Amino acid sequence: MLAISAVDDYKYACETASFLHPIFLDPARGDEHRKMARLVLVAVLVVLGSVACQASGYGYTYPNPTPIITGTPQPSPSPPPPATPPPSPTPTPEYPTPTSSAPATSPSVSPPTSSTPPPPSTLPPSPTATPVYPTPTPTTPAPPPASTPAPPPPATGLEVGYYDDKCPDAENIVLDAVRNTTAGVKAGLIRLFFHDCFVRGCDASVLLNKIAGKPEPEKLGIPNLSLRGFEVIDAAKKKLEEKCPGVVSCADIVAFAGRDASKLLSTYKINFNMPAGRYDGFVSLKDETLANLPPPFANLDTLTQMFANKTLSQTDMVVLSGAHSIGRSHCSSFSNRLQPSANDNSNTSMDATFAGKLTQDCTAGSDPMVPQDYKTVDMLDSQYYRNVIDRKVLFTSDAALMTSLQTKSLVQEYTKWLIGDLKWYKHFGDAMVKMGNIEVKDSTKGEIRKMCGLVN
């Protein structure tokens, strides 16, 4: 209303000036009239013109008057209303609080709205462009998914990769020595590892040569007279001494050679890491061999007890017996089975056709050698367990695996196509590692030999 009144007054002043203009220019009027007209014009312009000009906006602005809230509050002109209509007003709290639920539209953009307008005595805060998001509650990060759990480290203190920082090529040097041998020698290296560990532990005592004036060593014991692979161990030791003198024990070379022979004869279906850190023993006695090495004519109870004496289970015994799928045997080791008697249990007697073939092969010379597995002669595989079920195995100790429900069940498990094969490959590697922990010597009870056939 003030602006409209000022404009009308301005128009009136202008009209008055226009009306008086002819009087200023009329010469016929007297000086008195001119003076009076000038005074009137000046008075009108001074009083009305200045007010009209200020109200029209020249030079200054005035804040809009603050409305007095009576009854229902009117929305404040600033800030602009949110994109969505605010909820109905509630009794005015001391401070505005954000709504507890998210807005209906664009919850990630629209800031929380106030339930009531700000107090009229203060200007409302300016809206911010960036919405304030609730601070997420910190949580403890979940641990990464565990991979397949690794077997616990051997209690003997052995470790995989023992020579990585002591003699980095140690295991490769042994592997090269084993690779350059025949299948028969590779099979002999697995047997050499077994015979070493079962007498005085895995300490390379089986490698020691006879010395005048000393007791006869293990390698002259009856069970060890047919051992093979000594030259492979010596060749690997010679190269290791050239590269890392006094570092790699002969006991570890025997363990690595048994592992590598298993890999190569199974075309790497058997593949496992062999912990190392063994020391070489000082003592080797021929007289200890028969009492510790299971004979080929042993029954199940004898086998189970002899393995238990070496901290190996009956399952370990069944698994390690699978090594009889490779290698050869003298006919004298099983000749008692070639003529089955009427009293033989059907599960343990030899298949008649198979016995007939062996009889022919064994008469070809003086105690000749024949393959232990006629079907896969040069392969380390689970065919052995099929031969056990078919009664086409050489030793009494092989046939004994069918004389208990527990061992028979394992034999049948390992004959299952593919699944049984894979299971046995894995179990064989595990059992070899377990066998490699038998009575391990440390630095207080052993040494690192310079030559595997002699103590230092």
Would you state the pLDDT for residue 27?
45
Taking residues 286-311, what's their average pLDDT? 98
332 is in an annotated binding site: no
SS (H, E, C) 73-107: CCCCCCCCCCCCCCCCCCCCCCCCCECCCCCCCCC
Would you state the pLDDT for residue 364?
83
CA distance 242 to 239: 5
Q: Rounded mean pLDDT of the chain? A: 78
Q: In the numeric block, which tokens belong to residue 155?
A: 């209690």
Give, as one character, the DSSP assignment of residue 415. Answer: T
CA distance 270 to 262: 6
Q: Are 257 and 174 in contact (CB under 8 A)?
A: yes
Q: Where are the domains of the chain?
A: 2-55, 170-435
294 is in an annotated binding site: yes
> Please, where are the H alpha helices in 222-288?
230-243, 250-265
Tell me which CATH code domain 170-435 carries: 1.10.420.10
Question: Is pLDDT at 199 greater than 50 in this prediction?
Answer: yes
**Residue with more model confidence, 9 or 192:** 192
Cβ neighbors of 360 (< 8 A, separation 6 or more) are: none
322 falls in which pLDDT band (50, 70, 90)?
A: very high
What pLDDT, in 10s, does the model give residues 243-292? 999 999 999 999 999 999 999 999 999 999 999 999 999 999 999 999 99
287 is in an annotated binding site: no
Cβ neighbors of 231 (< 8 A, separation 6 or more) are: none
Map tokens 């293990």 to a residue: 218
- Each as own residue / partner, the long-range contacts of residues 212-221 (CB below 8 Å, 24 or more positions apart, any chain) are 215/285, 215/286, 215/287, 216/285, 216/286, 216/287, 217/284, 217/285, 217/286, 218/284, 218/285, 218/286, 218/288, 218/289, 219/284, 219/286, 220/286, 221/286, 221/287, 221/288, 221/289, 221/290, 221/293
378 is in an annotated binding site: no
Residues designated as active site: 195
Give, as one character, the DSSP assignment of residue 136. Answer: P
What pLDDT, in 10s, does the model give residues 32-81? 555 565 664 455 444 444 434 343 343 333 344 444 444 444 444 444 44
Would you state the pLDDT for residue 144?
39
201 is in an annotated binding site: yes
Q: In the numeric block, which tokens belong to residue 10?
A: 């301005």
Helix (H) or strand (E) holding 329: strand 328-330
Question: Is pLDDT at 439 greater than 90 in this prediction?
Answer: yes
- Whole-structure pTM value: 0.67
Question: Is pLDDT at 429 greater than 60 in this prediction?
Answer: yes
Taking residues 174-190, what's their average pLDDT? 98
Would you state the pLDDT for residue 366?
87
Would you state the pLDDT for residue 147?
37
104 falls in which pLDDT band (50, 70, 90)?
A: very low
Would you state the pLDDT for residue 45?
46
239 falls in which pLDDT band (50, 70, 90)?
A: very high
CA distance 3 to 51: 10
182 falls in which pLDDT band (50, 70, 90)?
A: very high
CA distance 263 to 175: 10
Q: Report phi then psi at 37, rounded to 5.
A: -65, -40
Would you state the pLDDT for residue 1?
44
What pLDDT, in 10s, does the model give residues 115-141? 444 444 444 444 444 444 344 444 344
Would you state the pLDDT for residue 319?
99
Would you state the pLDDT for residue 348?
84
Percent of the chain with pLDDT over 90: 62
